[in-house]
Amino acid sequence: MAFGVKVKNVKTQNKYTIESLYEAIKDKKFSAGEPSLTKHGLVYVITFPALDDRNQVWIMHSGFGKETNKFQVQKQEKAGMGNAMKNSALDGLTKGFAGMGRMVGSNAKECERLVEATAQELNALGL
């Protein structure tokens, strides 16, 4: 983990787009909660309910091409362009102090645990 970001790599048996992976898991139970398909900038990511603005579990596409069998489960800031701009502005005003929540505190530790659990649960689905 570096700079408050935790990443676990997951390899599926079949190839998926992020959208088709979402369709395959949307009704499954995860420790992190119910998955959602979220637009973040120019891409879509699968997200779980955010613990706060700085701690959310994401699943991202991690290979070349539209379809892949490589994905990353990550600890990130809350997805969505509005959230990214708000957090960036807050970091600028506080000289980065506001962003410390992604690295320390009970939500940061819980989000790290949820990344681990989500990666294990995703692997257990045998997709």
Q: Mind listing the pLDDT tens digit for each residue in 38-74?
A: 998 888 999 999 998 889 999 999 978 899 999 999 9
Contact 36, 48 (CB under 8 A): yes
**pLDDT, mean of residues 105-115:** 92
Cα–Cα distances in angstroms (integers) from residue 34 to residues 37, 49, 68, 93, in the given order: 10, 7, 23, 33
**Residue 20 is assigned to a structural domain of this protein:** yes
pTM above 0.75, yes or no: yes
Alpha helices in 26-105 (DSSP H): 81-93
Q: Is residue 55 assigned to a domain?
A: yes
- Binned at pLDDT 50, 70 and 90, residue 6 comes out as confident
Number of structural domains the chain divides into: 1
Residue range 16-45: mean pLDDT, rounded = 95
With 80 as the cut, is the pLDDT of residue 105 above it?
Answer: no
User: Do the domain assignments include residue 33?
Assistant: yes
Residue 96 lies in a domain: yes
Q: Is residue 83 scored above 70 in pLDDT?
A: no
Domain containing residue 112 = 7-124
Q: Which residues are 36's β-sheet partners? A: 47
Residue 58 forms part of a structural domain: yes
Instruction: Tell me the average pLDDT across 82-111.
Output: 59
Higher confidence at residue 51 or residue 98?
51
Closest CA to 59 of 127, 8, 15, 5: 8
Structure confidence at residue 89 (pLDDT) = 47
